[in-house]
Structure 1
Amino acid sequence: MSFADPPADFGSYDVVIVGAGSSGCVLANRLSADPTRRVLLIEAGGSDNHPWVHIPVGYLFAIGNPRLDWGFRTEPVPGLNGRSLLYPRGKVLGGCSSINGMIYMRGQAQDYDLWRDLGNPGWGWADVLPLFRRSERHFGAADDHHATDGELRVEQQRLHWPILDEVAQAAQAMGIPASADFNAGDNEGVGYFPVNQRRGLRWNARKAFLDPARRRPNLRIVTGAQVLRLVLDGRRVTGAVFRDRKGLHQVRAGQEVVLCAGAIGTPQILELSGIGRPDVLGTIGVPVCHALPGVGENLQDHLQLRTVFAISGARTLNDRAGSLWGKAGIALQYALTQSGPMAMAPSQLGIFTRSGPDHDRANIEYHVQPLSLDAFGQPLHKTPALTVSVCNLRPTSTGSSHAVSADPAAPPAIQPNYLATEADRKVAADSIRHARRLMATPHLARFAPVELKPGPGAEDDANLARLAAEIGTTIFHPVGTARMGDDPLAVTDARLQVRGLAGLRIADCSVMPRIVSGNTHAPAVMIGEKAAELIIAG
């Protein structure tokens, strides 16, 4: 069959799910638990059977791998001095949960209460906490905030770096409290990140949610299949057209289609289907089927400022992995115990705090790493150093992600618009100051920290913001491009149904009206749980 032929009939299912990422895997599991409901899960990527997916340190090499990562780049970002950034997105079963940093972080209770107050009843903290608990298999005892009988494993990290203990004590000396649990609604404090691992291996959404369900006869999973467009009959979505190695196929959805393609993939599919801003659709030559001006807008992301400090008198991964013998020892430790540096999440120590006294709750997050390198996938530096990354948890800058062609293979134009507002530039300047104060505490003096990046000197707001523009990079948390709400720019309502259309729902991070104050995998799983609950309720 050639791609010029009409689509072959792929049959009919009750629910067609587009995207087997964090939300899509949850949704496939929950919906197919009813044996009378026929579910199709379509994933553009392939199997996650790759060592760099499952060995935690493989994160450094999975990003940028064309088998696992879409390999997007942003448009030149004015706020970053015109730099274009790599913008990784999972292209594999499990989606970004197969290439992310494995950190399990829900955000803050006030994030979800704000969602509710923005016209989304049923999304407050009290509403979503049971959904977080539903999927969780926590390492501790079950309590009001955590559960131990879910599918998503949440474990403590299986390694120890004494220098990170020292940084934690330095943070406490600054007045930042120790935190035993970042996920109880208020994450302010310092502690080690909990991770989605099982005995030193990554625990992605495929393992957690698809494996228990994939033998159900009413669930079909298709990989290597890219959805090209949705099929509409008037104001109702009735199916989708997708392409795989065998050609074109059209599948019918008796109940609904659910887009779980993420904050970049979902708006592109909508636009290629004629759903979105008329001016964007006109530019790419797609007829307008349903005007929705909010599609692709409201892109939000966490910009991280990766400050680097050389140290002495303590070991880091730079020197431990700096020789052949060191690498061999690390590999042997992992082979024997599934612990040590190969089991480590990219970031181990977390700090949530306030960049200044004018913030009423934690507004910055540290990811502290006992290593340094120029960029992920690049060699480690030769001498001991720490990377002390800081990100603004609630940026006020917003961008967009739009299709640039009617060709589904053409990457979209991603413009995060980082540091576009004065408020974000102020937080960036204060974040660099805060990292400097942390590393200058008397507790760390014996390690003689020396600032390598961005480098000492600048102290005023303007010059610190300029340095932030030079070193800032994504922390891979895009959200918001199909946000829910009850205003004219909202794309979905609080039930995740696309406004003005029947038979179409969205369940991924694109529906977030505001970015959460933390990492985004756990919220994506929760959104999948919520979507399943809404669909089952009818």
Structure 2
Amino acid sequence: MTDYDYIIIGAGSAGCVLAERLSASLRHRVLVLEAGGRGKSPWISLPLGYGKSFHNPAVNWRYHTEAEEALAGRKGYWPRGKVVGGSGAINALVYARGLPQDFDDWAAAGATGWNWTAALETYEAMETQVASDGSQRGTGPLHVQDVSDQIHPTNRHFFAAAQELGLPATDDINGPKNEGAAVYQINTSGGRRMHSARAYLAPALKRPNVTLLTGALVEGLGVESGRATSVHVRHKGRLMQFRAGREIILSAGTVTSPRILQLAGIGPAGMLKSHGIAPILDNPNVGGNLQDHLGINYYFRATEPTLNNVLRPFHGKLRAALQYALTRRGPLSLSVNQCGGYFRSVSEMEQPDQQLYFNPVTYTTTSNGKRTVVQPDPFPGFILGFQPSRPTSRGRIDIGDKDPETPPLIRPNSLSTDEDHTQVVAGGMLCQQLIATTALGQLVESAMDPDLRGMAPEEILADFRERCGTVFHPVGTCRMGDDAAVSVVCPRLKVHGVAGLRVVDASVFPNITSGNTNAPTMMLAHRAAGLILEDKS
């Protein structure tokens, strides 16, 4: 058995941040356990390499949900990072802090101290904002890039359509004026993905007090007299045990953190007993409160060249690759999601209720039985899509049995409230209004079925049920709150009822944020490290 001060389970978006922050003083020995590999694939570093990792089992857990009647009996596909950097290593790189009200709602829900003022202070400490001209603001380790000078010309039609409808626009979706049509900022530096593994873990690993063990599957936790003291790991076929002198920190993500707690006997007692696990703490909230964004895309053939024309032909791919190699710029240095923003479907609403995406590309996903390929279409096209920002449906994630390698039971309980139905129709109608503008209408050669333009409200909802999918933002399964009866961790992220154990990742979100969840996950970890160090005595 090997002793450390802090053991971090999961080298994902949160775990990498914790490793750097907890080790900076050189006074604490930190062990980071990661079930996946090191993440040295060039497709991770390359921003547009997202398409290559989307189905790759070497870096992706490739989970599936249980079938959902509300989604026409379909099972959802849930890619999750199986690699150092976690899902931040395989995501589409949109960097969205969220809206101020999101975090004030956290505090109102019992997450005392996690309001917008605290979140903003943390964001400003962790970021270096890089403008399109290369000038910088801030000195944080995480670089956030303005790529407005590099986006495809097709995007101009989206901004013109928003203006035609009288919708707002913003130069900075993460700034004080964050509502409206925007170019998405992305976390890159020098044209390469700047995820938490690069920004935080890489410098931490240069210190003598940080150890990273990859290929390490956590099978259980040792709990003695109400305190978590050790982690049981399977590594290269043999069992290992590591002891934590101060704390064990779960940063395995929304899917796996609650499962590790359940395997340790912390969770719904009846369910644990049914799998032959002796409960040490009955808490039905472990695995509950699952939230996610569901979204849908509408595909159109375009009347002018789009990114399809650049990236489909072999010579186009070659030219883009050469541009990237020489300049670290061009389409390969960008996210597939170039524009979008937060919008109110009705102007009288208190805050935006929809997030939109406009992509100057369409693509076809094919499988030859051995691998899945995402390929731009051989004709010009574009995508307009949306996600309701604050869904109210709640689901669960639980272990399938006591074997930690058994896939999880993911039950999102999607579209289970009337409010969610209303939000879906509102988002579809907003997209319908945009595509009906002169600005976007002139870009449409034809719709790629189904055609949004002629849909009635009930048809929008029916189509959403048939075609929607996760936007890969699951949160909430170890909910943070001050009341142990309705939460898993306290506002300092300590597990209720078990000493020496915290959860620090997106699973603790009391409510889902309005946009992409990677930025708030890193923010949460950055701030959580300060709380952990405050409590070390």
Query: Among 56, 71, 76, which residue is 1:80 paired with?
Result: 71
Sort the Cα spacing of 1:374 and 1:396 in 2 relative to 1 into closer, same or farther, 3 A: farther
Give runs of aligned pairs for residues 162-181 of structure 1, distance below 5 A: 162-181=153-172
Pair 1:535-2:535 in alignment: no
Query: 2:41 maps to which residue?
Result: 50
Pair 1:414-2:414 in alignment: no
Q: Conserved in 1, the CA contact under 8 Å of 2:112 and 2:482? A: no
Query: 1:3 maps to which residue?
Result: none
Count the aligned residue pairs. Answer: 524
Pair 1:494-2:484 in alignment: no
Query: Among 255, 262, 267, which residue is 1:264 paired with?
Result: 255
Q: Deviations over 1:6-60 (max 9, x none)?
A: xxx2x11111110011111111001101212111111111111101101111101
User: Deviation of residue 459 (structure 1)?
Assistant: 3.4
Q: Conserved in 2, the CA contact under 8 Å of 1:102 and 1:345? A: yes
For structure 1, which segment, 497-506 or 73-82, has the greater mean C-alpha deviation from structure 2 after superposition? 73-82
Amino acid at match of 1:135: M
Query: 2:368 maps to which residue?
Result: none
Sort the Cα spacing of 1:449 and 1:390 in 2 relative to 1 into closer, same or farther, 3 A: farther
Query: 1:291 maps to which residue?
Result: 282
Structure 2: how far apart are the matches of 1:391 and 1:521? 16
Query: 1:230 maps to which residue?
Result: 221
Q: Conserved in 2, the CA contact under 8 Å of 1:260 and 1:266? A: yes
Pair 1:403-2:399 in alignment: yes
**Structure 1: stretches of 5+ with no match in the other structure:** 1-8
TM-score (normalizing by structure 2): 0.94
User: Deviation of residue 444 (structure 1)?
Assistant: 2.6
Query: Among 331, 340, 345, which residue is 2:321 paired with?
Result: 331
Q: Conserved in 2, the CA contact under 8 Å of 1:25 and 1:94? A: yes
Pair 1:156-2:152 in alignment: no
Query: 1:275 maps to which residue?
Result: 266
User: Deviation of residue 136 (structure 1)?
Assistant: 0.5
Query: 1:255 maps to which residue?
Result: 246
Query: Among 446, 452, 458, which residue is 1:450 paired with?
Result: 446
Amino acid at match of 2:349: H
Give runs of aligned pairs for residues 134-533 of structure 1, distance below 5 A: 134-140=125-131, 148-157=138-147, 159-184=150-175, 187-312=178-303, 314-357=304-347, 359-375=349-365, 377-456=373-452, 459-487=455-483, 488-533=485-530
Q: Sequence identity, in percent?
A: 38
Q: Conserved in 2, the CA contact under 8 Å of 1:107 and 1:185? A: no
Structure 2: how far apart are the matches of 1:69 and 1:126? 35
Structure 2: how far apart are the matches of 1:324 and 1:63? 21
Structure 1: how far apart are the matches of 2:520 and 2:452? 37
User: Deviation of residue 133 (structure 1)?
Assistant: 1.3
Q: Conserved in 1, the CA contact under 8 Å of 2:181 and 2:341? A: yes
Query: 2:20 maps to which residue?
Result: 29
Quote the RMSD (CA, aligned, Å). Answer: 1.7
Q: Deviations over 1:136-155 (max 9, x none)?
A: 111149xxxx9521110101
Q: Deviations over 1:416-452 (max 9, x none)?
A: 1221211111211221221121111112333235332
Q: Deviations over 1:510-538 (max 9, x none)?
A: 00000001111111111111210111111
What SS class does the counterpart of residue 269 from structure 1 fall into?
Answer: helix
What SS class does the counterpart of residue 473 from structure 2 fall into?
Answer: coil
Structure 1: how far apart are the matches of 2:247 and 2:137? 31
For structure 1, which segment, 337-346 or 201-210, has the greater mean C-alpha deviation from structure 2 after superposition? 337-346
Sort the Cα spacing of 1:147 and 1:77 in 2 relative to 1 into closer, same or farther, 3 A: farther
Q: Conserved in 2, the CA contact under 8 Å of 1:177 and 1:190? A: yes
Query: 1:61 maps to which residue?
Result: 52
Q: Deviations over 1:205-240 (max 9, x none)?
A: 111001111121111111110111111012111111
User: Deviation of residue 307 (structure 1)?
Assistant: 1.2
Query: 2:124 maps to which residue?
Result: 133
Sort the Cα spacing of 1:491 and 1:147 in 2 relative to 1 into closer, same or farther, 3 A: farther
Structure 2: how far apart are the matches of 1:147 and 1:411? 43
Query: Among 74, 99, 107, which residue is 1:116 paired with?
Result: 107
Structure 2: how far apart are the matches of 1:490 and 1:484? 6
Amino acid at match of 2:526: E
Structure 2: how far apart are the matches of 1:19 and 1:483? 18
What SS class does the counterpart of residue 335 from structure 2 fall into?
Answer: coil
Q: Conserved in 1, the CA contact under 8 Å of 2:435 and 2:453? A: no
Amino acid at match of 1:420: S
Query: 2:85 maps to which residue?
Result: 94
Q: Conserved in 2, the CA contact under 8 Å of 1:226 and 1:243? A: yes
Structure 1: how far apart are the matches of 2:463 and 2:311? 30
Q: Conserved in 2, the CA contact under 8 Å of 1:454 and 1:471? A: no
User: Deviation of residue 270 (structure 1)?
Assistant: 0.6
Sort the Cα spacing of 1:357 and 1:283 in 2 relative to 1 into closer, same or farther, 3 A: farther
Q: Deviations over 1:337-359 (max 9, x none)?
A: 22222112020102210123463
